[in-house]
Chain A
Amino acid sequence: MSAKKEPIWIARELSRCSGCRKCEIACSLAHEKRIWPEASRVRVFMLVPGLEFPHLCAQCEDYPCVEACPEKALSINKKTGAVAVKTAACISCGKCITTCPGRIPHMHPTEKYALICDLCKGDPQCVKVCQEGKWNALTKVARRNISFKLYARTPEELTKDLAAKLYGEQGEEYL
């Protein structure tokens, strides 16, 4: 495992996701002190039953959301590589969502700011629970020089891919 201060990344293997949503539970407990699935920075989508997957920030190498923020409310945490949201500055205009190739950020359900994974200061709680249960859909790895942006995909696209893998041609009927 990488040294504590080295930037990390959450590698994802979506077809291993059971849809248990323990990542949502852990994330919201860590950030909101409540079980609050919609306030979780990682959200599990199930647009088609059986095709569940966690949807979370991929920390694109060029950070288009940070670039697009008109209020400079987003910044890059140098230690972890995570996108930091300055909640007081955010005007919830949604630019970070439309710029994100995966439309990953979403608004806090009751507050006026966007929710983006902060990598839990290098110790992501979602990864912990996923590993505890041996699903390993999420794994913490050292941030190396790869195309992270590739992994920022929309829920629809990911659903389509998983449908092809699990259900083959039959899956097209349910999309």
Chain B
Amino acid sequence: MILGYAGKFLEVDLSTRKIRDVKFDDAILKDYVGGRGLAAKILWDRLGHKWEKVDPLGSENVLLFLTGPLTGYFPGGRICVSGKSPQSNGIVGSTVGGEFGVELRCAGYDGIIVTGESEKPVYLLIKDYDIELRDASHIWGRDAKQTVKVLTKECRELFKKRYPLYGEWKEPALLYIGPAGENKVRTAAVTAKWTHAAGYGGYGAVMGSKKLKAVAVKGTGPLPEAADIRKVKRLIKVVNDNAYENELWRRWGTGSAGYEVGARFSSEPVRNWQDEWHNERSFGVDKFEDRVWVKQSWSDFGCPTCCLKVAMVKTGKFKGAITDNPDYELQAYLGPNLGVFTPEENVYLASVIDDLGLCGIQTGNVLGFAAELYQREILTEKDLDGIDLKWGNTAAFAALAKKIAYREGIGDLLAEGTYRAALKLGETKKTDLLKYAVQAKGISIGAHGIRSEKDYPERISYACSVQGGDHTSTTGLPIDGSGSEVWEIFNDSGVYCNFNSFGISRKVRFDFYKAVTGVELIPEDWAKTKAFRILQLQRAMLLLGGPDATWEPKEHDANPPRFYEPLPNGPYKGKAADKTKVHEDIKKYYQEAGWDKNGVPKTETLRNLGLKDVDKSLERLRH
């Protein structure tokens, strides 16, 4: 028997309110592990035969919250959220840090499968084997901080009433959506702990479409039994010690990158990627540390790194705004990308995004896109209902973020995300706006450019990833090399924080898997068989796509047009992606991935992996 799993999954049908336990064979767990890998398997089995017709925001979509065997054991707990993505129409394994995955495993579940759609707003409460759907009308419409406040209080009072002799109840772990998710905004995130977000994929909108405001979980049991707990303890120490040695990484987290990725590497979005270089000393990590960080070390379960900080604006007109660091992604996307270069304004914008339940990357990207259209006078102040969307106008960007979350005015269009907004607005304005859309297959690109080749050196990082613009799952050559996304699939399927695995050898990670599960897993076997199979499944569903958008590899396995414009400033001035080289890499990647010249997985590739039914479904894409 495979160890390290609770052994059951919770399935909740929101339409019928039926709740049941589901199990998977050891063979499936061995092949797909958990999180992202298992999500691909579950989604293919349930929806694969009608994938193109499934509306990600309809009741047919299946929403998943999955842990992995390493959740809670490998330092830095996370949970993987998945389903058919309303951004890519494929699948994203979108992970978010916090205690949710640990609580769920301690409650006796490896994951939650949500189907159907509720008539009224509900939240799911799990307390070990006591599981119920509860009314959420009183929190529907509430922002993140208020939702956390009400649910924490309500659940603790309930526990206290039901188990009066237990003593003080800790808070349950929560995953919730804000107004943006409720309004089915495609850039809405599934969020936790005020500031943590599973943003890629747009699963906040999926929760909203199902009228599922939140999931609260409190588990009082132990983590599922590990095969070799003494070995696990030793490996935890290896991961901890590695983190403890890296003092500046612990002190600043990714907060130093808001300056450095721009100033040193020319890879940071500046004014919707019109540049990737800036040298604004006002945006240095020391400014964040000295002016706004009120808590220097903020961790999720078991984390030795504490890359998170709590930030609060203490002075000026944005006084009182609270968020985390922001981390590099939100520093960049709600900072230089919008022409904003001070910690206070950046923290304020990030707090607005948190409170509304938006993804800071996807929304920061669409805000930058809109601001460039304003700069080019394609969008006017009238189009924006009087908002003066000049670069650096923080209040204007906050106002527009609110309009997006509530789908008001132009916000309704921008709520579709950059790709869809560019298409629709391009029709109205009768001009090609996709050239200003910095995205890949419906997913806006993370804050790491490829033009300077100094930060993300792979030319096909985003063009060939099965998760589009997701910077946490970029890919590269060779397909089993360190730049390939097969290793990201391991992190996202074991479900732990990859930030704690920087500097940790592949051997240690796979030893960790074995110490927990008792199952030997050789890295080569992972890359060539198991991860490869998951990759093919994700690719297949991405290409099947639909119903509102589909991807032609020839057209869409591509970098955004902006990456072919030469960098205008800085030490790498003039550098741009080279189309010929990109095409060569794509061709090579297709070969290594076992895809035909049109980018469709070959019959032989799929059959060798036991994916005969996938092969059949892809027949109609082959030409």
Name A's B-contacting residues (CB within 8 A).
15-16, 18-22, 25, 28-29, 32-39, 43-50, 55, 92-94, 97, 103-107, 109-110, 114, 132-135, 154-155, 166-167, 170, 173-175
Contact = CB atoms under 8 A, between A and B. Distances in A.
28 contacts: A18-B295, A18-B298, A18-B299, A19-B300, A20-B300, A20-B303, A28-B222, A29-B229, A32-B222, A34-B223, A35-B73, A37-B102, A44-B170, A46-B99, A46-B170, A50-B295, A50-B298, A94-B165, A97-B167, A106-B168, A107-B167, A109-B220, A133-B240, A133-B244, A166-B294, A166-B295, A166-B312, A170-B312
Given A29-B233, A38-B219, 10 more contacts: A36-B106, A38-B106, A38-B170, A46-B99, A50-B295, A50-B298, A94-B165, A104-B168, A105-B167, A133-B240
Given A34-B225, A36-B223, A50-B322, A19 B152 contact: no
A45 B171 contact: yes
B301 A49 contact: no
B302 interface: yes
Interface in B155-181: 156, 164-168, 170-171
A99 to B, nearest CB: 12
Contacts of B378: none
Contacts of B302: 20-22, 25
B274 interface: no
B221 interface: yes
> Interface size class for chain B?
35 or more
A106 B306 CA distance: 28
B357 to A, nearest CB: 14
Given A18-B306, A109-B220, A93 B165 contact: yes
A60 B320 CA distance: 38
B244 A94 contact: no
A104 B171 CA distance: 15
B85 interface: no
Contact of B301 (A20, A94, A103, A135): A20
B109 to A, nearest CB: 15
Q: Which of B149, B167, B233 has the most CB of A within 10 A?
A: B167
Contacts of A25: 236, 302
B223 A155 contact: no
Nearest to B167: A106
A16 B297 CA distance: 8
Give 7 closest A-B pairs by Cβ, nearest first: A106-B167, A20-B299, A36-B222, A109-B220, A18-B297, A34-B222, A38-B220
Contact of A46 (B164, B171, B304): B171
Contacts of A50: 194, 294-295, 298, 310, 322
Interface in B21-75: 72-73
A150 B515 CA distance: 43
B454 interface: no
A36 B194 CA distance: 25
B304 A167 contact: no
Nearest to B165: A94
Interface in B479-529: none
A94 B299 contact: no
B435 to A, nearest CB: 40
A20 B220 contact: no
Interface string B193-231: 111000000000000000000000001111101000100
A106 B73 CA distance: 24
A19 B233 contact: no
Interface in B318-354: 320, 322
Nearest to B321: A170
A19 B294 CA distance: 14
Nearest to A97: B167
A173 B143 CA distance: 13
A126 to B, nearest CB: 14
Nearest to B169: A106
Given A34-B229, A49-B195, A135 B312 contact: no
A132 B229 contact: no
Nearest to B192: A49
